[in-house]
């Protein structure tokens, strides 16, 4: 019975994507393993080994052959080292990305404030009033955020973000400014490195491995923006959406402290070794 629960239904030519306790019960009866059994008994037996075939967890297989090497460079920068040497006082680390297609949804009835024993109420129905992309750059060790909003994302808006940051001090006169980015089309590959380095000779673009945006600290900031500004989404226009995002950005930069990032290259190596040693089926 446990062996059946650890199979994919499709492998058994069954027309559903995952087992329930009742599906397993019917399967073992149909195969003549038992004449009758209760679903509760099956659940108890599966529970002994923590087998829960009705659940699933998404994941992405590591595809970059240089995953550890690229990821380690990013983790070293968070620890203020580069190529084995400690960063100087005039070196800075920026984490940047885009939060795309942020809709401005105007609710068809005004929100109500919270009251004793009653949550704030948000009308389900809305009308769309446009969408924006939010491009932001986080100074990892100073907890300062710089950002712009644009109707779309792309190389030009990202260049505008870079210029916005690099034109101000202390970055303009810095020895080196490391920009950590993912592999999005706005800043992908050698061409982006050359383009940005030509505009700003002290800028060094550092890419995370493919499918490793979780290594980019700007994603933590974006999750805060999602919770604090965009949920619930209730904006009468994209102008209001933009002003709300940028006002929060200013407030965040005035009160925030750097993220307590503790995941090191040693932690990464242990994790990848464990994943490599684990059979794919597990």
CA 233, CA 128: separation in Å to the nearest integer? 11
Per-residue model confidence as pLDDT tens digits over 171-213: 999 999 999 999 998 998 899 999 999 999 999 999 999 988 8
* Upstream peptide bond of 103 is cis (omega within 30 degrees of 0): no
Does the pLDDT at position 98 exceed 60? yes
What pTM value is reported for the model? 0.86
Q: Which domains can be identified in the chain, with CATH numbers? A: 2-48 (no CATH), 67-111+121-266 (3.30.420.10)
Per-residue model confidence as pLDDT tens digits over 270-279: 988 888 776 5
Task: Please give the C-alpha separations between residue 117 and each of 110, 113, 114, 120, 281, in angstroms, as whole numbers.
Answer: 20, 12, 8, 10, 48
């Amino acid at each position: 019975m446990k062996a059946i629960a650890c199979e994919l239904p499709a492998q058994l030519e069954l027309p559903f994507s995952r087992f329930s306790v009742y599906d397993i019960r019917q399967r073992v009866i149909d195969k003549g393993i038992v004449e009758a059994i209760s679903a509760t008994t099956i659940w108890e037996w599966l529970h002994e080994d923590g087998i829960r075939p009705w659940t699933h967890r998404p994941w992405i297989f590591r595809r970059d052959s240089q995953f550890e090497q690229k990821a380690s460079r990013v983790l070293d920068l968070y620890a203020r080292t580069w190529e084995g040497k400690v960063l100087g006082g005039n070196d800075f680390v920026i984490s940047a990305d885009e939060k795309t297609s942020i809709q401005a949804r105007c609710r068809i009835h005004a929100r109500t404030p919270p009251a004793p024993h009653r949550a704030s109420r948000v009308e389900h129905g809305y009308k769309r009033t446009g969408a924006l992309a939010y491009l932001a750059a986080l100074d990892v060790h100073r907890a300062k955020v710089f950002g712009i909003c644009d109707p779309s994302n792309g190389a030009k808006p990202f260049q505008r973000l870079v210029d916005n940051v690099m034109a101000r001090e202390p970055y303009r006169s810095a020895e080196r400014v490391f920009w950590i980015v993912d592999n999005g089309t706005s800043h992908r590959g050698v061409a982006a490195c050359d383009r940005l380095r030509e505009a700003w000779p002290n800028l060094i673009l550092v890419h995370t491995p493919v499918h490793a945006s979780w290594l980019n600290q700007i994603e933590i900031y974006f999750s805060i923006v999602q919770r604090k500004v965009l949920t619930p989404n209730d904006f009468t226009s994209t102008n209001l959406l933009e002003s709300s995002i940028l006002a929060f950005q200013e407030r965040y930069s005035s009160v925030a402290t750097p993220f307590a990032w503790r995941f090191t290259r040693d932690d990464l190596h242990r994790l990848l070794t464990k994943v490599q040693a684990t059979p794919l089926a597990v």
